[in-house]
């Protein structure tokens, strides 16, 4: 039996969007442990800069952080076009930037919330991928990881637009994989269920009490759990493509069903 070795990330350039907290920050730590060179982007660049020393101590061979709002197509194109030469040959893209706003019924929803979710979760992913994947195809190497959600598999009450954006991520991910057929570039979708991050605080615009109730009497996934799945997918042998990972805590069956203890 031939045992294939995992794909090495040593000194590979890994670009993570939304890297300043939650799943993005956990991915940065996980890829640092693999010896990768970390290219980190987020709106809160001060947080990225404060992470740099710890990431280098964790094993990252280098770290380069910059401010980026993926909603702004011109800013994405400008920032990636101005990367230092030694950071342009991106090997792995982790499209992680994303958010949710509110739990309104559709006819009561706030258009500005819809625009922010669509512009970040869908269009932002596209703006980044369009630039980065072109380079991967030209170099005949690369791996794109798109962070989706169980919300893209099954809608839940009040999640109308957010769930729609994550369904779009799932299908865009699958379409990109078809587009890249015949190239060595791999595409993976990682779709987690409930993960305890700042997600709910962002959704409820800083209402920490309301956010805490989301995770009450349940054991959710941690950002490190999701990062572990991302790194696992990326480190499979080069001929293996992990198309889709759907992961939930044991206390969750889908977007609607939870086992709340007590």
Of these residues, 7, 15, 127, 162, which one is catalytic?
Answer: 162
Would you say 124 and 73 are in contact if contact means Cβ atoms under 8 Å apart? no
Two tokens, residue 28 = 């940065």
Q: Is 215 a catalytic residue?
A: no
The interaxial angle of helices 73-81 and 125-139, nearest 10 deg, is: 30
HSE toward the beta carbon, residue 132, CA cutoff 13 A:
31
Phi/psi of residue 143, each to 5°? Answer: -150, 130
DSSP annotation of 181: B
Residue 201 CB neighbour total at 10 angstroms? 15
Task: Give the Cα-Cα-Cα angle 146, 40, 32 (nearest 5 degrees).
Answer: 90
Nearest to 56 by CA among 70, 72, 40: 40
Give catalytic residues, as residue numbers: 162
């Amino acid at each position: 039996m031939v045992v294939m070795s995992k794909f090495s990330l040593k000194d590979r350039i890994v670009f993570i969007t939304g890297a300043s907290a939650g799943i993005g920050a956990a991915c940065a730590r996980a890829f640092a442990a693999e010896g990768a060179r970390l290219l980190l982007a987020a709106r809160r660049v001060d947080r990225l800069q404060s992470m740099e020393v710890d990431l280098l101590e964790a094993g990252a061979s280098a770290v380069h952080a910059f401010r980026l709002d993926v909603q702004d197509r011109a800013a994405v194109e400008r920032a990636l076009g101005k990367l230092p030469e030694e950071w342009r040959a991106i090997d792995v893209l982790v499209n992680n930037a994303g958010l949710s706003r509110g739990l309104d019924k559709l006819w009561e929803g706030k258009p500005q919330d819809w625009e922010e979710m669509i512009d970040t979760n869908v269009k932002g992913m596209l703006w980044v991928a369009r630039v980065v994947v072109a380079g991967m195809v030209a170099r005949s190497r690369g791996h794109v990881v798109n962070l989706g959600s169980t919300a893209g598999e099954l809608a839940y009450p009040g999640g109308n637009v957010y769930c729609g954006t994550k369904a779009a991520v799932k299908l865009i991910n699958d379409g990109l994989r078809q587009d890249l057929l015949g190239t060595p570039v791999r595409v993976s979708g990682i779709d987690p269920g409930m993960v305890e991050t700042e997600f709910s605080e962002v959704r409820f615009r800083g209402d920490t009490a309301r956010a805490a109730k989301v995770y009450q009497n349940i054991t959710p996934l941690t950002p490190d759990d999701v990062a572990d799945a991302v790194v696992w997918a990326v480190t499979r042998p080069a001929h293996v493509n992990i198309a889709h990972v759907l992961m939930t805590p044991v206390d969750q069956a889908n977007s609607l069903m939870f086992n709340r203890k007590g």
